[in-house]
Amino acid sequence: MLKLPIYLDNNATTPCDPRVVEAMLPYFSETFGNASSRNHSFGWAAEAAVDLAREQVAALIGADPKEIIFTSGATEADNLALKGVFEMYADKGNHIITTEIEHKAVLDTCKHLEKLGAEITYLKVNNEGLPDLKELEAAITSKTILVSVMYANNEIGVINPIKEISAIAKKHGVLMMSDISQAAGKVPVDVNREGIDLAAFSSHKLYGPKGVGALYVRRKSPRVKVTAQMDGGGHERGMRSGTLNVPGIVAFGKACELCQQEMEAEGKRLTALRDKLENALLQLEQTFVNGSKTNRLPHATNISFRYVEGEALMMGFNKNLALSSGSACTSASPEPSYVLKGLGLGDDLAHSSIRFGLGRFTTEEEIDYAIQTVTETVNKLREISPLWEMFKEGADMNTIEWSRL
């Protein structure tokens, strides 16, 4: 039986896997100790649980457990990495290179650092969503301390050539950071193979609970240091003070372990479902996939349905389908998604976009339902759209005579 509403917004967040919830529950009331309490069994038990979780989290990205700093989520990890590197490497320079389609946790932190004297280069991306590596290399100066490029984009799911980017950074002695929130647990990420020095990610994007995440900080070749952004008891090797969220960390560890075990099969299953959805929707006229179709996450697609507006589309099915749109028709001059604009989409197509994010609990039956519902709603709204009528009459959109008052 199909259960409504259907959740297809797994890039925003994922439900907790029941196995994850089961793993974390004892750490609320039974094994509730403070992992920093060194003098009694309550503390030791909590510490042992955190140690195991640290191994599980590290294993997912090919890291050493000592290189994992637990945080409240990817946003905090991004902040710690950028601000911490900026402060720690102030003697070396003040220049950071990133792209203009990063997550706000990176972009807004960079904006903040600009106020503190940082020079930031925001690389443009091409219509596939990828930065030009020659441009990246040309942007490096003697003052450059960090290159920060996300592993996979949250709106279009496009995967960056991280290995190539880190090779350029390494060649010039610059640290490489990546927000791996969307990719970790979905595709194989290996910090050594891919030359990542700092990586931020979050539990709730990979079927764990909200409120816990991690920053990977490389310890060997090179040994990377970040200045703590929170003062206190010196937890997490002094880089992130604050009593550890033991149940959250245990859950994060379990979630990483499950992702690692199931990644290969799950990737294949989701690719097949995503392709089915995408191919069916592309049957509609004037429908386009945004971003590269070759290098992207298995569970994500972002599609523009020309001549219908994204928010109106979602209103048509949001009782039964949970999705996200690049439209933002909420003010006098609504700004559509800056990611889609960065790809070079016009405002009209950016406003006509829908992001589909499949997940571990998405079934084929749900995809069939989504195909039917989205198709019907697009067709219905096109019947109401004056632009669609003009298009069908063969009007040249650039020479239409618009009324003047």
Partner 1 sequence: MAYAERVLDYYDNPRNVGTLDKTSARVGTGLIHVPEYIEVVRIQIEVSPARHVIMDARFKTFGCGAAIAATSITTEWLKGKTIEEAARLDHMDIVEVLSLPPAKIHCTILIEDAVKTAINDYRHKNGMEPLQEEEEEEEEAERDYELEEEHN
> What ranges make up the beta strands (E) of 72-117?
95-99
Our finding on whether 343 is near partner 1 (CB under 8 A) is: no
329 among known catalytic residues = yes
Our finding on whether 91 is near partner 1 (CB under 8 A) is: no
CB of 386 to partner 1, least distance (A): 4
CB of 300 to partner 1, least distance (A): 24
CB atoms within 10 A of CB 195: 19
Q: Which of 318, 375, 342, 405 is nearest to 130 (CA)?
A: 342
Question: Which residues, other chains included, contact 1 with Cβ-Cβ below 8 Å and sequence gap of 6+?
Answer: none
CB of 357 to partner 1, least distance (A): 20
Which lies closer to partner 1 via its Cβ, residue 265 or residue 402?
402
CB of 157 to partner 1, least distance (A): 24
CB of 34 to partner 1, least distance (A): 42
CB of 98 to partner 1, least distance (A): 27
Q: What is the DSSP letter of 209?
A: -
Among 39, 142, 221, 331, contact with partner 1 (rule: CB under 8 A): 331
Our finding on whether 348 is near partner 1 (CB under 8 A) is: yes
Our finding on whether 285 is near partner 1 (CB under 8 A) is: no
d(CA 328, CA 405) in angstroms, rounded, equals: 27
Which lies closer to partner 1 via its Cβ, residue 91 or residue 401?
401
Span from 16-24, 96-104, 285-293, 312-320 in contact with partner 1 (CB under 8 A): 312-320
Question: Which residues, other chains included, contact 241 with Cβ-Cβ below 8 Å and sequence gap of 6+?
Answer: 228, 230, 231, 232, 233, 234, 235
Our finding on whether 351 is near partner 1 (CB under 8 A) is: yes
Among 201, 252, 307, 317, contact with partner 1 (rule: CB under 8 A): 307
Our finding on whether 146 is near partner 1 (CB under 8 A) is: no
Among 40, 279, 389, 395, contact with partner 1 (rule: CB under 8 A): 389
Q: Write out the DSSP string of 106-120.
A: HHHHHHHHHHTT-EE
**Catalytic residue among 110, 256, 259, 329, which?**
329
Contacts 24+ apart (CB under 8 A), 218-227: 218/67, 218/191, 219/64, 219/66, 219/67, 222/175, 222/197, 224/85, 224/175, 224/197, 224/198, 225/84, 225/88, 226/80, 226/81, 226/84, 226/85, 226/87, 226/88, 226/198, 227/83, 227/84, 227/87, 227/88
Query: Could you tell me if 72 and 204 are in contact, meaning their C-beta atoms sit under 8 angstroms apart?
Result: no
Burial of residue 332 (number of CB atoms within 10 Å: 0-12, 13-18, 19+): exposed
Among 116, 138, 384, 395, contact with partner 1 (rule: CB under 8 A): 384
Among 283, 294, 330, 399, contact with partner 1 (rule: CB under 8 A): 330
Question: Which residues, other chains included, contact 188 with Cβ-Cβ below 8 Å and sequence gap of 6+?
Answer: 263
Span from 192-200, 220-228, 236-244, 379-387 in contact with partner 1 (CB under 8 A): 379-387
Span from 4-12, 117-125, 220-228, 331-339 in contact with partner 1 (CB under 8 A): 331-339
Span from 38-46, 216-224, 225-233, 328-336 in contact with partner 1 (CB under 8 A): 328-336
Among 171, 220, 334, 376, contact with partner 1 (rule: CB under 8 A): 334
d(CA 328, CA 304) in angstroms, rounded, equals: 14
Span from 44-52, 70-78, 105-113, 324-332 in contact with partner 1 (CB under 8 A): 324-332
User: Binding residues for partner 1, how many (CB under 8 A)?
Assistant: 33
Query: Could you tell me if 320 and 3 are in contact, meaning their C-beta atoms sit under 8 angstroms apart?
Result: no
Our finding on whether 387 is near partner 1 (CB under 8 A) is: yes
**Cα within 13 Å of Cα(153), Cβ side:** 31
Our finding on whether 116 is near partner 1 (CB under 8 A) is: no
d(CA 353, CA 216) in angstroms, rounded, equals: 33
Q: Give the type of residue at 244.
A: L
Q: Which of 214, 167, 162, 156 is nearest to 188 (CA)?
A: 162
Annotated catalytic sites, by residue? 329
Residues that bind partner 1 (CB under 8 A): 307-309, 311-312, 315-316, 327, 329-334, 336, 346-348, 351, 381, 383-389, 397, 400, 402-405
